[in-house]
Amino acid sequence: MSRVAKRLRRKNLDAPESIEDVLGRAGEDRFASKRAKQQAIPRKEWRAAVGPRIADRAQPISIERGVLTIKVATSVWANELHMLAPELLARLKLCGFAVISLRFRVGILDTVGRPPERRATRKIPPPALLEPELRALVANVADTELRVTIEKAACANLAWQRHIKVQR
């Protein structure tokens, strides 16, 4: 029997284990140290292969014997990606990954620290003076509060229009 085909067995214990030892390794993979796992696909390459929408909601965990295990945010995403599996496998193969099938695990995704999005700030120009014709039209408004609001809005709008013309 070849060495690879031999089934890995746990070492026989000479005495019972303490409950602390058993609980300490609860959930761990007993054979993880003996089994050589391939690294999961790097995030940049994963994002390039599957696109940003999928990459934000699914993360590759490991590749083992051609099976890519993917952690997804919800079971809905697991179902959606299962239906897209043939297309995803083709994309991954094009990127050079030896993936035969996909397996999904639902869990909390690791967040990637992204730099804050830089937004262009614009300087607000001071209000412009109204032309005499426009001032006369606004003066015809009977309600004082409404007249003041219209005048302020018109001044601000004229200022923006002039500011934009200067920038062009």
What secondary structure letter does DSSP report for 130? P
- State pLDDT tens for residues 135-145: 999 999 999 99
∠ CA 15-17-21, rounded to 5°: 150
What confidence tier does 147 reach under pLDDT thresholds 50, 70, 90?
very high
Match 């099938």 to its residue by tokens.
101
- Residue 110: the pLDDT is 80
- Residue 35: the pLDDT is 45
DSSP codes of every residue in 63-93: EETTEEEEEESSHHHHHHHHHTHHHHHHHHH
DSSP codes of every residue in 46-58: HHHHH-HHHHTTE
The residues near 65 (Cβ < 8 Å, ≥ 6 apart) are: 100
- Residue 2: the pLDDT is 52
Average pLDDT, the chain: 82
- Residue 10: the pLDDT is 64
Between these two residues, 155 and 21, which has the higher pLDDT value?
Answer: 155
SS3 of 104, please?
strand
End-to-end Cα separation, the chain, in angstroms: 80
The mean per-residue pLDDT over the stretch 69-78 comes to 93
Q: For residues 46 and 62, is the Cβ–Cβ distance under 8 A?
A: no
Q: Helical H runs in the chain? A: 19-24, 43-50, 52-55, 75-83, 85-94, 132-139, 144-167
- Residue 36: the pLDDT is 43
The mean per-residue pLDDT over the stretch 55-71 comes to 91
Is 167's pLDDT higher than 80? no
- State pLDDT tens for residues 86-143: 999 999 999 888 899 999 999 988 876 666 667 777 788 888 888 899 899 999 999 9
CA–CA distance, 114 with 110 (Å, rounded to integer)? 12
